[in-house]
Chains A and B, each alone.
Chain A
């Protein structure tokens, strides 16, 4: 039995002159949640489309449960669930009818499809709206229904393309809970997101891609450790003290930015950073407050791709 539920090896895909995937390679261990992170146009959607058999790659190989996504596409479709970037549900059907339809088309027999539809509507908090037409649903309800539709045939592997983009916070948290529950039950999940917070909250492993290549991989903690810098915010009694302090810190080699009575100082993470920082402030009255901002995946992401590359990627989209 494979250790990996998904294996992606040197995948290539171009749309005319635009390279979407460039020798993309990564693996997803069975039963884990992988967060695929990247700016717009970095190749996230293309990757998920290839893995869910909606798009053929130009070159390279990808397997899901050991099945080739091109040669064995029909069998791959039986083991995957897919929820795309937009709620792909029929507005003129009820929630229940949508789930039953997708279940039937996923080769679930009619009776079981109805049972699964009822279970999922309940699980996603849509029981009350089950028999209303989806065109009257809110955006959040549609997305939840869309995710539910991907689960009718209990797929062991689930692909989610930006599942919470455009959702209000409450809907977002509900969707996170649903993904966590699936992961607990052993489903392998690959989700793409632009929200580093989301990858931090859900993913066991993060793959950051830029220009269709893997830029970095690791657990969220490893990435923060490796790339994040701690930001200290020192509050002083007055603006004059803050100015003096920032000059001294600059002389000691720190990057310090003064803002009224506060200054912000970047420092590599690691123990001992704060005492060293305070020692450099010998000649100045002690700060009245000290704030510590731990690195987030946002910092990692910016460090790796940079604002310039994000802009460029946006243009290529």
Chain B
């Protein structure tokens, strides 16, 4: 085999390169989904934790939390949906970190595959996982009395916002996964951050009850924007502004962190 003949395989136009990137992304996502199905403990953890929150807040604390004008379980579930995808995003960092430690990312860098597919395949698989987890939480919500007062379409729109945010949050955790070659450390770094975002947002309690300084932080961050938009939709309130704000957060996070993640990944050869 002559060098020239072999080298010809590397010359590809932009259209072919895009098609290659898509195919590679699907292959990587397929691999990550298989991994996910074969480590059911991760999937169980991803659903059990929000389930416990539903039970705790619905039955243990819920009686003490007064939300004027609405049933507490209807107030709670949008927070739970946001919580489940926000914590799920840590899984993106944990998975990448494991690939970094195992040397798989080094192997990927020596393959003629598209670099973005390593990250896009991971986040695509995590998107599929989020859909499953949110579906389970919806079932749990119905079981404990959750009803969407505005009906089905607004509910589906709200869940769409949740999935969009979850996808952006996965990209947000890529940078962490690529920098920490220890999955436990990635988990350890991710959990407090997500706790902070979820609990200062009005995910479980109305932020009107929080002190002013905490409210200032809690109401100006993406989890709060998501929960607010979800509730506006579900309660049939004017929601245009809140929906746009949440989509803007998700779009912005996605853009910034996708570029950052790709930059870190392509510079890992330095």
A311 at the interface (CB under 8 A from B): no
Chain A residues contacting B34 (CB-CB under 8 Å) are 92-93, 97
A236 within 8 A of B: no
Q: Are B270 and A56 in contact (CB under 8 A)?
A: yes
- Residue A149, interface by CB 8 Å: yes
B: number of interface residues (CB 8 Å): 32
Give bound CA distance, A106 to B9, whole Å.
11
**Residue of A whose beta carbon sits closest to that of B11:** A75
Q: Is A78 an interface residue (CB 8 A)?
A: yes
- Interface of B, secondary structure class, is helix
Pick the contact of B103 from A1, A2, A78, A84 — CB < 8 Å? Answer: A84
Are A149 and B270 in contact, with the CB atoms below 8 A? no
Q: Is the CB of B6 within 8 A of A78?
A: yes
Give the distance to chain A from B31, nearest Cβ to Cβ, in Å: 5
A235–B106 alpha-carbon span in the complex (Å): 54
Let me know if A75 and B7 touch, CB within 8 A. yes
Q: Which of B9, B11, B109 contacts A53 (CB 8 A)?
A: B109
A290 adjacent to chain B (CB < 8 Å): no
Interface segment, B65-73, B75-83, B110-118? B110-118
Stretch of A64-72, A217-225, A251-259, A302-310 on the interface side? A64-72
Instruction: Give the complex CA separation of A101 and B107 in angstroms.
Output: 12
Which of B1-58 touch A at CB < 8 Å? 1-3, 6-7, 9-11, 20, 23-24, 27-28, 31, 34-35, 38-39
Secondary structure call for the A interface:
loop
Q: Decide yes or no whether A88 CB sits under 8 A from chain B.
A: yes
Contacts of A115 in B (CB 8 A): none
A185 and B257 alpha carbons, distance in the complex (Å): 46
B198-246 interface with A by 8 A CB criterion: none
Chain B: CB-nearest residue to A52: B110
Shortest A317–chain B CB gap in Å is: 16
Residues of B within 8 A of A (CB): 1-3, 6-7, 9-11, 20, 23-24, 27-28, 31, 34-35, 38-39, 102-104, 106-113, 117, 269-270
> Can you report 25 A-B residue pairs in the complex whose CB atoms are below 8 A from each other?
A54-B109, A66-B7, A75-B9, A76-B10, A79-B3, A82-B107, A82-B110, A86-B103, A87-B103, A88-B103, A89-B102, A89-B104, A92-B38, A93-B35, A97-B31, A101-B27, A101-B31, A104-B23, A104-B24, A105-B27, A105-B108, A107-B9, A107-B112, A133-B38, A149-B107
